[in-house]
Structure 1
Protein backbone atom coordinates (compact mmCIF):
# COMPACT_ATOMS: atom_id res chain seq x y z
CA UNK A 1 0.00 0.00 0.00
CA UNK A 2 1.42 3.38 -1.00
CA UNK A 3 1.52 6.23 1.57
CA UNK A 4 -1.31 8.14 -0.14
CA UNK A 5 -3.57 5.10 0.44
CA UNK A 6 -2.88 4.75 4.16
CA UNK A 7 -6.17 4.81 6.11
CA UNK A 8 -6.74 7.87 8.27
CA UNK A 9 -9.17 7.90 11.20
CA UNK A 10 -10.31 11.47 11.87
CA UNK A 11 -11.99 13.11 14.85
CA UNK A 12 -13.80 16.42 14.22
CA UNK A 13 -14.12 18.91 17.09
CA UNK A 14 -16.49 21.55 15.70
CA UNK A 15 -19.58 23.07 17.34
CA UNK A 16 -21.29 24.12 14.10
CA UNK A 17 -23.21 21.04 12.92
CA UNK A 18 -23.44 22.30 9.34
CA UNK A 19 -19.70 22.97 9.11
CA UNK A 20 -18.92 19.58 10.65
CA UNK A 21 -21.11 17.87 8.05
CA UNK A 22 -19.43 19.73 5.18
CA UNK A 23 -15.98 18.87 6.51
CA UNK A 24 -16.95 15.23 6.89
CA UNK A 25 -18.17 15.11 3.28
CA UNK A 26 -14.97 16.73 2.01
CA UNK A 27 -12.75 14.38 3.99
CA UNK A 28 -14.57 11.23 2.96
CA UNK A 29 -14.13 11.98 -0.72
CA UNK A 30 -10.93 10.07 -0.03
CA UNK A 31 -12.10 6.45 0.42
CA UNK A 32 -9.26 5.81 2.88
CA UNK A 33 -10.35 8.61 5.23
CA UNK A 34 -12.95 7.79 7.88
CA UNK A 35 -14.48 10.29 10.29
CA UNK A 36 -14.81 8.16 13.41
CA UNK A 37 -16.33 10.81 15.66
CA UNK A 38 -17.59 14.37 15.92
CA UNK A 39 -17.58 16.52 19.06
CA UNK A 40 -19.20 19.90 19.66
CA UNK A 41 -17.29 20.96 22.79
CA UNK A 42 -13.92 20.71 24.51
CA UNK A 43 -15.26 18.14 26.97
CA UNK A 44 -16.69 15.94 24.23
CA UNK A 45 -13.55 16.32 22.15
CA UNK A 46 -11.31 15.28 25.04
CA UNK A 47 -13.45 12.26 25.83
CA UNK A 48 -13.63 11.09 22.21
CA UNK A 49 -9.92 11.66 21.60
CA UNK A 50 -9.09 9.37 24.52
CA UNK A 51 -11.73 6.77 23.69
CA UNK A 52 -11.29 6.58 19.91
CA UNK A 53 -7.54 7.30 19.63
CA UNK A 54 -7.86 8.75 16.11
CA UNK A 55 -4.94 9.30 13.75
CA UNK A 56 -5.85 12.94 13.12
CA UNK A 57 -7.90 15.54 15.01
CA UNK A 58 -9.36 18.59 13.26
CA UNK A 59 -9.98 21.16 15.99
CA UNK A 60 -11.88 24.45 16.12
CA UNK A 61 -10.63 27.28 18.35
CA UNK A 62 -13.92 28.80 19.53
CA UNK A 63 -15.95 26.14 21.36
CA UNK A 64 -18.89 26.59 23.77
CA UNK A 65 -17.02 25.46 26.88
CA UNK A 66 -13.55 26.82 26.16
CA UNK A 67 -10.78 27.25 23.62
CA UNK A 68 -9.51 24.57 21.28
CA UNK A 69 -6.04 25.99 21.88
CA UNK A 70 -6.41 25.21 25.58
CA UNK A 71 -7.58 21.71 24.72
CA UNK A 72 -4.57 21.19 22.48
CA UNK A 73 -2.26 22.33 25.29
CA UNK A 74 -4.05 19.95 27.68
CA UNK A 75 -3.50 17.01 25.31
CA UNK A 76 0.18 17.75 24.86
CA UNK A 77 0.68 18.12 28.62
CA UNK A 78 -0.98 14.72 29.05
CA UNK A 79 1.36 13.15 26.51
CA UNK A 80 -1.27 12.76 23.77
CA UNK A 81 0.75 13.25 20.59
CA UNK A 82 -1.99 12.70 18.00
CA UNK A 83 -1.63 14.92 14.93
CA UNK A 84 -3.86 17.98 15.44
CA UNK A 85 -4.73 20.62 12.84
CA UNK A 86 -6.73 23.73 13.61
CA UNK A 87 -9.67 24.50 11.31
CA UNK A 88 -11.12 27.79 12.47
CA UNK A 89 -12.23 31.32 11.69
CA UNK A 90 -9.63 32.59 14.19
CA UNK A 91 -7.24 34.36 11.84
CA UNK A 92 -5.26 36.47 14.33
CA UNK A 93 -1.51 35.92 14.49
CA UNK A 94 -1.41 35.14 18.26
CA UNK A 95 -3.83 32.23 17.79
CA UNK A 96 -1.76 30.84 14.93
CA UNK A 97 1.50 31.17 16.87
CA UNK A 98 -0.01 29.59 19.98
CA UNK A 99 -1.42 26.68 17.99
CA UNK A 100 1.97 25.98 16.41
CA UNK A 101 3.73 26.36 19.77
CA UNK A 102 1.39 23.74 21.24
CA UNK A 103 2.23 21.30 18.45
CA UNK A 104 -0.45 21.79 15.79
CA UNK A 105 1.04 20.68 12.48
CA UNK A 106 -1.33 22.68 10.27
CA UNK A 107 -3.78 25.58 10.50
CA UNK A 108 -6.67 26.22 8.10
CA UNK A 109 -8.59 29.48 8.18
CA UNK A 110 -12.27 29.24 7.24
CA UNK A 111 -13.37 29.26 4.51
CA UNK A 112 -10.93 26.92 2.80
CA UNK A 113 -10.99 24.75 -0.31
CA UNK A 114 -11.48 21.02 -0.50
CA UNK A 115 -8.08 20.78 -2.19
CA UNK A 116 -6.40 22.48 0.79
CA UNK A 117 -8.12 20.07 3.19
CA UNK A 118 -6.95 17.12 1.06
CA UNK A 119 -3.44 18.55 1.19
CA UNK A 120 -3.68 18.67 5.00
CA UNK A 121 -4.54 14.96 5.05
CA UNK A 122 -1.67 14.22 2.66
CA UNK A 123 0.73 16.10 4.96
CA UNK A 124 -0.54 14.01 7.88
CA UNK A 125 0.16 10.81 5.94
CA UNK A 126 3.66 12.07 5.10
CA UNK A 127 4.30 12.55 8.84
CA UNK A 128 3.60 8.89 9.67
CA UNK A 129 6.94 7.08 9.27
CA UNK A 130 5.87 4.14 11.41
CA UNK A 131 3.11 3.31 8.90
CA UNK A 132 5.87 2.40 6.47
CA UNK A 133 7.18 -0.16 8.97
CA UNK A 134 9.16 0.07 12.18
CA UNK A 135 9.64 2.78 14.79
CA UNK A 136 13.27 3.58 13.89
CA UNK A 137 14.08 6.60 11.69
CA UNK A 138 17.05 7.46 9.56
CA UNK A 139 18.13 11.12 9.28
CA UNK A 140 16.31 11.73 5.99
CA UNK A 141 13.06 10.40 7.44
CA UNK A 142 13.51 12.41 10.63
CA UNK A 143 14.20 15.60 8.65
CA UNK A 144 10.98 15.02 6.71
CA UNK A 145 8.93 14.54 9.88
CA UNK A 146 10.50 17.66 11.42
CA UNK A 147 9.94 19.60 8.19
CA UNK A 148 13.65 20.40 7.95
CA UNK A 149 14.55 21.86 4.58
CA UNK A 150 17.85 20.68 3.15
CA UNK A 151 20.24 23.01 1.36
CA UNK A 152 19.38 21.24 -1.90
CA UNK A 153 15.71 22.21 -1.55
CA UNK A 154 16.56 25.89 -1.11
CA UNK A 155 17.04 26.12 -4.89
CA UNK A 156 13.49 24.98 -5.62
CA UNK A 157 11.23 27.52 -7.37
CA UNK A 158 8.81 29.49 -5.26
CA UNK A 159 5.64 27.51 -4.58
CA UNK A 160 7.33 24.10 -4.83
CA UNK A 161 7.40 22.38 -1.44
CA UNK A 162 10.13 19.70 -1.21
CA UNK A 163 7.96 17.19 0.66
CA UNK A 164 5.02 17.57 -1.71
CA UNK A 165 7.45 17.28 -4.62
CA UNK A 166 8.75 14.03 -3.13
CA UNK A 167 5.22 12.63 -2.89
CA UNK A 168 4.38 13.62 -6.47
CA UNK A 169 7.60 12.12 -7.81
CA UNK A 170 7.05 8.88 -5.87
CA UNK A 171 3.46 8.56 -7.12
CA UNK A 172 4.62 9.15 -10.69
CA UNK A 173 7.29 6.45 -10.35
CA UNK A 174 4.68 4.04 -8.94
CA UNK A 175 2.24 4.67 -11.80
CA UNK A 176 2.06 1.79 -14.26
CA UNK A 177 1.11 4.03 -17.18
CA UNK A 178 1.32 7.70 -18.13
CA UNK A 179 -1.05 9.81 -16.05
CA UNK A 180 -2.69 13.20 -16.33
CA UNK A 181 -2.31 15.92 -13.73
CA UNK A 182 -5.87 15.26 -12.59
CA UNK A 183 -5.24 11.53 -12.12
CA UNK A 184 -2.03 12.06 -10.19
CA UNK A 185 -3.63 14.79 -8.09
CA UNK A 186 -6.33 12.35 -7.00
CA UNK A 187 -3.68 9.82 -5.99
CA UNK A 188 -1.76 12.22 -3.75
CA UNK A 189 -4.58 14.47 -2.54
CA UNK A 190 -3.78 17.57 -4.57
CA UNK A 191 -5.85 19.72 -6.89
CA UNK A 192 -5.30 19.27 -10.63
CA UNK A 193 -3.63 22.67 -10.91
CA UNK A 194 -1.25 21.98 -8.01
CA UNK A 195 -0.36 18.54 -9.36
CA UNK A 196 0.22 20.06 -12.81
CA UNK A 197 2.63 22.62 -11.34
CA UNK A 198 4.72 19.92 -9.67
CA UNK A 199 4.66 17.68 -12.74
CA UNK A 200 5.82 20.52 -14.95
CA UNK A 201 8.70 21.12 -12.54
CA UNK A 202 9.68 17.44 -12.75
CA UNK A 203 9.65 17.71 -16.54
CA UNK A 204 11.91 20.79 -16.40
CA UNK A 205 14.47 19.04 -14.20
CA UNK A 206 14.44 15.87 -16.28
CA UNK A 207 12.70 13.59 -13.78
CA UNK A 208 9.53 13.24 -15.87
CA UNK A 209 8.57 13.24 -19.52
CA UNK A 210 5.52 14.81 -21.12
CA UNK A 211 3.45 13.25 -23.91
CA UNK A 212 0.72 15.00 -25.89
CA UNK A 213 -2.09 12.61 -26.79
CA UNK A 214 -4.67 13.78 -29.31
CA UNK A 215 -8.23 12.59 -28.90
CA UNK A 216 -11.38 12.97 -30.96
CA UNK A 217 -11.90 16.54 -29.77
CA UNK A 218 -8.62 17.56 -31.36
CA UNK A 219 -7.30 19.03 -28.14
CA UNK A 220 -4.13 17.35 -26.88
CA UNK A 221 -4.16 15.77 -23.43
CA UNK A 222 -0.99 16.12 -21.37
CA UNK A 223 0.20 12.82 -19.92
CA UNK A 224 3.22 12.48 -17.66
CA UNK A 225 5.48 9.55 -16.83
CA UNK A 226 8.62 9.14 -14.79
CA UNK A 227 11.83 9.51 -16.76
CA UNK A 228 13.77 6.33 -17.23
CA UNK A 229 17.04 6.24 -15.37
Structure 2
Protein backbone atom coordinates (compact mmCIF):
# COMPACT_ATOMS: atom_id res chain seq x y z
CA UNK A 1 0.00 0.00 0.00
CA UNK A 2 1.34 3.43 -0.95
CA UNK A 3 2.17 5.50 2.14
CA UNK A 4 0.87 9.06 1.85
CA UNK A 5 2.41 11.95 3.81
CA UNK A 6 -0.08 14.82 4.03
CA UNK A 7 0.31 18.50 4.90
CA UNK A 8 -2.94 20.12 6.10
CA UNK A 9 -3.38 23.87 5.54
CA UNK A 10 -6.43 24.96 7.56
CA UNK A 11 -6.79 27.92 9.93
CA UNK A 12 -9.76 26.47 11.86
CA UNK A 13 -8.13 24.15 14.40
CA UNK A 14 -11.33 22.20 15.00
CA UNK A 15 -11.76 21.51 11.29
CA UNK A 16 -8.08 20.58 11.03
CA UNK A 17 -8.49 18.00 13.81
CA UNK A 18 -11.58 16.51 12.16
CA UNK A 19 -9.82 16.26 8.80
CA UNK A 20 -6.76 14.69 10.43
CA UNK A 21 -8.95 12.06 12.09
CA UNK A 22 -10.73 11.29 8.81
CA UNK A 23 -7.45 10.97 6.92
CA UNK A 24 -5.73 8.78 9.48
CA UNK A 25 -8.51 6.21 9.44
CA UNK A 26 -6.34 4.86 6.64
CA UNK A 27 -3.29 3.39 8.43
CA UNK A 28 -1.05 4.31 5.50
CA UNK A 29 -1.97 8.01 5.58
CA UNK A 30 0.08 10.22 7.92
CA UNK A 31 -0.55 13.92 8.54
CA UNK A 32 3.03 15.12 8.89
CA UNK A 33 2.22 18.77 9.48
CA UNK A 34 -0.57 21.30 9.93
CA UNK A 35 -0.41 24.99 9.00
CA UNK A 36 -2.83 27.82 9.78
CA UNK A 37 -1.27 30.54 7.59
CA UNK A 38 0.30 30.91 4.17
CA UNK A 39 3.72 31.54 5.73
CA UNK A 40 3.53 28.38 7.83
CA UNK A 41 2.29 26.37 4.86
CA UNK A 42 5.12 27.53 2.61
CA UNK A 43 7.75 26.79 5.26
CA UNK A 44 6.35 23.33 6.07
CA UNK A 45 5.97 22.40 2.39
CA UNK A 46 9.68 23.08 1.91
CA UNK A 47 10.81 21.45 5.16
CA UNK A 48 8.62 18.32 5.07
CA UNK A 49 8.30 17.65 1.32
CA UNK A 50 4.85 16.04 1.73
CA UNK A 51 3.32 13.79 -0.92
CA UNK A 52 -0.01 15.61 -0.80
CA UNK A 53 -1.09 19.09 0.37
CA UNK A 54 -4.70 19.78 1.35
CA UNK A 55 -5.04 23.54 1.00
CA UNK A 56 -7.67 26.01 2.21
CA UNK A 57 -8.37 29.20 0.25
CA UNK A 58 -9.35 31.66 2.98
CA UNK A 59 -6.37 32.08 5.33
CA UNK A 60 -5.52 34.92 7.74
CA UNK A 61 -2.60 36.25 5.68
CA UNK A 62 -4.01 35.81 2.19
CA UNK A 63 -5.42 33.35 -0.33
CA UNK A 64 -4.36 29.74 -0.71
CA UNK A 65 -4.79 30.20 -4.45
CA UNK A 66 -1.92 32.70 -4.41
CA UNK A 67 0.24 30.21 -2.54
CA UNK A 68 -0.59 27.49 -5.06
CA UNK A 69 0.41 29.87 -7.86
CA UNK A 70 3.68 30.61 -6.02
CA UNK A 71 4.48 26.90 -5.63
CA UNK A 72 3.86 26.19 -9.31
CA UNK A 73 5.99 29.17 -10.34
CA UNK A 74 8.81 27.67 -8.25
CA UNK A 75 8.42 24.37 -10.07
CA UNK A 76 6.94 22.52 -7.07
CA UNK A 77 4.79 19.71 -8.51
CA UNK A 78 3.46 18.27 -5.26
CA UNK A 79 -0.15 17.10 -5.57
CA UNK A 80 -2.46 19.78 -4.14
CA UNK A 81 -6.18 19.45 -3.47
CA UNK A 82 -8.28 22.40 -2.35
CA UNK A 83 -10.53 21.87 0.68
CA UNK A 84 -12.43 25.10 1.19
CA UNK A 85 -15.68 26.99 1.63
CA UNK A 86 -14.85 28.95 -1.57
CA UNK A 87 -17.67 27.75 -3.82
CA UNK A 88 -17.51 30.37 -6.58
CA UNK A 89 -16.69 29.27 -10.11
CA UNK A 90 -13.76 31.69 -10.39
CA UNK A 91 -11.96 30.07 -7.44
CA UNK A 92 -12.51 26.59 -8.83
CA UNK A 93 -11.26 27.58 -12.29
CA UNK A 94 -8.20 29.32 -10.83
CA UNK A 95 -7.32 26.31 -8.66
CA UNK A 96 -7.60 23.87 -11.55
CA UNK A 97 -5.66 26.19 -13.88
CA UNK A 98 -2.84 26.31 -11.30
CA UNK A 99 -2.64 22.52 -11.21
CA UNK A 100 -4.84 21.48 -8.27
CA UNK A 101 -5.95 17.94 -9.06
CA UNK A 102 -9.08 18.00 -6.91
CA UNK A 103 -11.40 20.50 -5.21
CA UNK A 104 -13.66 19.81 -2.21
CA UNK A 105 -16.27 22.32 -1.08
CA UNK A 106 -17.02 22.31 2.64
CA UNK A 107 -18.85 20.50 4.10
CA UNK A 108 -17.88 17.19 2.49
CA UNK A 109 -18.13 13.53 3.45
CA UNK A 110 -15.41 11.23 4.70
CA UNK A 111 -15.95 9.09 1.61
CA UNK A 112 -15.25 12.07 -0.66
CA UNK A 113 -12.05 12.81 1.24
CA UNK A 114 -11.06 9.16 0.81
CA UNK A 115 -11.51 9.62 -2.95
CA UNK A 116 -8.89 12.39 -2.85
CA UNK A 117 -6.41 9.95 -1.29
CA UNK A 118 -7.34 7.23 -3.77
CA UNK A 119 -6.88 9.57 -6.75
CA UNK A 120 -3.54 10.75 -5.36
CA UNK A 121 -2.37 7.14 -4.99
CA UNK A 122 -3.47 6.32 -8.53
CA UNK A 123 -1.49 9.30 -9.83
CA UNK A 124 1.64 8.07 -8.01
CA UNK A 125 1.45 4.44 -9.13
CA UNK A 126 4.35 3.71 -11.55
CA UNK A 127 2.89 2.55 -14.86
CA UNK A 128 5.60 3.12 -17.46
CA UNK A 129 3.64 4.06 -20.56
CA UNK A 130 -0.07 4.87 -20.30
CA UNK A 131 -2.87 3.72 -22.55
CA UNK A 132 -5.88 5.99 -23.02
CA UNK A 133 -8.07 4.18 -20.48
CA UNK A 134 -5.43 4.59 -17.76
CA UNK A 135 -4.95 8.24 -18.67
CA UNK A 136 -8.70 8.87 -18.65
CA UNK A 137 -8.92 7.32 -15.19
CA UNK A 138 -6.16 9.61 -13.89
CA UNK A 139 -7.82 12.65 -15.46
CA UNK A 140 -11.31 11.66 -14.33
CA UNK A 141 -12.71 11.79 -17.87
CA UNK A 142 -13.79 9.42 -20.60
CA UNK A 143 -17.05 8.10 -19.25
CA UNK A 144 -19.97 8.52 -16.93
CA UNK A 145 -19.42 9.40 -13.30
CA UNK A 146 -18.74 6.32 -11.17
CA UNK A 147 -21.73 4.84 -9.38
CA UNK A 148 -21.88 5.12 -5.60
CA UNK A 149 -20.18 2.27 -3.79
CA UNK A 150 -22.48 -0.56 -2.66
CA UNK A 151 -23.42 -0.81 0.98
CA UNK A 152 -20.64 -2.45 2.97
CA UNK A 153 -17.84 -1.37 0.61
CA UNK A 154 -15.59 1.18 2.33
CA UNK A 155 -13.61 3.41 -0.08
CA UNK A 156 -10.43 3.33 2.05
CA UNK A 157 -10.46 -0.48 2.21
CA UNK A 158 -11.34 -0.81 -1.47
CA UNK A 159 -8.32 1.23 -2.50
CA UNK A 160 -6.06 -0.75 -0.15
CA UNK A 161 -7.17 -3.96 -1.86
CA UNK A 162 -6.85 -2.42 -5.33
CA UNK A 163 -3.34 -1.14 -4.55
CA UNK A 164 -2.23 -4.62 -3.49
CA UNK A 165 -3.39 -6.06 -6.82
CA UNK A 166 -1.93 -3.20 -8.86
CA UNK A 167 1.37 -3.40 -7.02
CA UNK A 168 2.13 -6.97 -8.08
CA UNK A 169 2.24 -8.67 -11.45
CA UNK A 170 1.05 -11.93 -9.95
CA UNK A 171 -2.47 -13.26 -9.53
CA UNK A 172 -3.40 -13.43 -5.85
CA UNK A 173 -5.94 -15.39 -3.86
CA UNK A 174 -8.36 -13.76 -1.44
CA UNK A 175 -6.32 -15.23 1.40
CA UNK A 176 -3.08 -13.68 0.10
CA UNK A 177 -4.76 -10.29 -0.35
CA UNK A 178 -6.25 -10.58 3.12
CA UNK A 179 -2.82 -11.24 4.62
CA UNK A 180 -1.34 -8.19 2.89
CA UNK A 181 -4.20 -5.84 3.86
CA UNK A 182 -4.87 -7.28 7.35
CA UNK A 183 -8.38 -8.34 6.34
CA UNK A 184 -10.14 -11.67 6.74
CA UNK A 185 -10.21 -13.91 3.66
CA UNK A 186 -13.97 -13.46 3.24
CA UNK A 187 -13.75 -9.66 3.54
CA UNK A 188 -10.90 -9.57 1.02
CA UNK A 189 -12.96 -11.80 -1.29
CA UNK A 190 -15.90 -9.38 -1.10
CA UNK A 191 -13.74 -6.43 -2.14
CA UNK A 192 -12.01 -8.44 -4.86
CA UNK A 193 -15.37 -9.46 -6.31
CA UNK A 194 -16.41 -5.81 -6.40
CA UNK A 195 -13.22 -4.97 -8.31
CA UNK A 196 -14.07 -7.73 -10.79
CA UNK A 197 -17.61 -6.40 -11.22
CA UNK A 198 -16.43 -2.87 -12.01
CA UNK A 199 -13.70 -4.04 -14.39
CA UNK A 200 -10.64 -3.26 -12.26
CA UNK A 201 -9.68 -6.92 -11.75
CA UNK A 202 -10.01 -10.27 -13.48
CA UNK A 203 -10.75 -13.68 -11.99
CA UNK A 204 -8.85 -16.82 -12.98
CA UNK A 205 -9.33 -20.40 -11.83
CA UNK A 206 -6.27 -22.50 -11.03
CA UNK A 207 -6.84 -26.24 -10.86
CA UNK A 208 -4.77 -28.26 -8.42
CA UNK A 209 -4.53 -31.86 -7.30
CA UNK A 210 -7.68 -31.63 -5.18
CA UNK A 211 -9.82 -30.96 -8.24
CA UNK A 212 -11.33 -27.83 -6.70
CA UNK A 213 -10.20 -24.67 -8.51
CA UNK A 214 -8.53 -21.89 -6.58
CA UNK A 215 -9.78 -18.41 -7.39
CA UNK A 216 -7.02 -15.95 -8.26
CA UNK A 217 -7.41 -12.22 -8.88
CA UNK A 218 -5.27 -9.92 -11.00
CA UNK A 219 -5.42 -6.16 -11.63
CA UNK A 220 -6.89 -5.42 -15.02
CA UNK A 221 -6.04 -2.49 -17.30
CA UNK A 222 -8.66 -0.83 -19.44
CA UNK A 223 -12.38 -1.37 -19.65
CA UNK A 224 -13.94 -4.71 -18.87
CA UNK A 225 -17.43 -6.13 -18.64
CA UNK A 226 -18.83 -6.52 -15.17
CA UNK A 227 -17.79 -9.82 -13.68
CA UNK A 228 -20.33 -12.30 -12.44
CA UNK A 229 -20.60 -12.99 -8.73
CA UNK A 230 -18.75 -15.97 -7.28
CA UNK A 231 -19.27 -17.57 -3.91
CA UNK A 232 -16.29 -17.62 -1.54
CA UNK A 233 -14.33 -20.79 -1.05
CA UNK A 234 -14.65 -22.74 2.16
So what's the TM-score if we normalise by structure 1? 0.68
Tell me the equivalent position of 2:88. Answer: 92
CA contact (8 A) 2:119 2:138 kept: no
Aligned residues: 186
Going from structure 1 to structure 2, the CA distance change for 1:170 and 1:43 (only over 3 Å counts) comes to: closer
Going from structure 1 to structure 2, the CA distance change for 1:33 and 1:210 (only over 3 Å counts) comes to: same
Structure 1 residue runs without a partner (length 5+): 188-194, 212-222, 225-229
Going from structure 1 to structure 2, the CA distance change for 1:114 and 1:200 (only over 3 Å counts) comes to: same
Structure 2 residue runs without a partner (length 5+): 149-154, 166-170, 176-184, 203-223
CA contact (8 A) 1:87 1:108 kept: yes
Tell me the equivalent position of 1:109. Answer: 105
Q: What is the aligned counterpart of 1:138 among 103, 121, 129?
A: 129
CA contact (8 A) 2:57 2:63 kept: yes
Going from structure 1 to structure 2, the CA distance change for 1:183 and 1:60 (only over 3 Å counts) comes to: farther
Tell me the equivalent position of 2:24. Answer: 28
Deviations 1:13-55 (A, max 9, x none): 0000000000001101111110000000001000000010000
Could you list the runs of 4 or more consecutive aligned residues of structure 1 that deviate by over 4 angstroms after TM superposition?
Answer: 166-175, 177-183, 198-204
Deviations 1:151-196 (A, max 9, x none): xxx4xx65359xx9x9677767645256459963xx9xxxxxxx96
Partner Cα distance (1:39, 1:170) in 2: 30
Partner Cα distance (2:138, 2:163) in 1: 20
So what's the TM-score if we normalise by structure 2? 0.67
SS in 1 for 2:30: strand
Deviations 1:82-102 (A, max 9, x none): 000000011111111110000
Partner Cα distance (2:189, 2:22) in 1: 17
Partner Cα distance (1:170, 1:64) in 2: 38
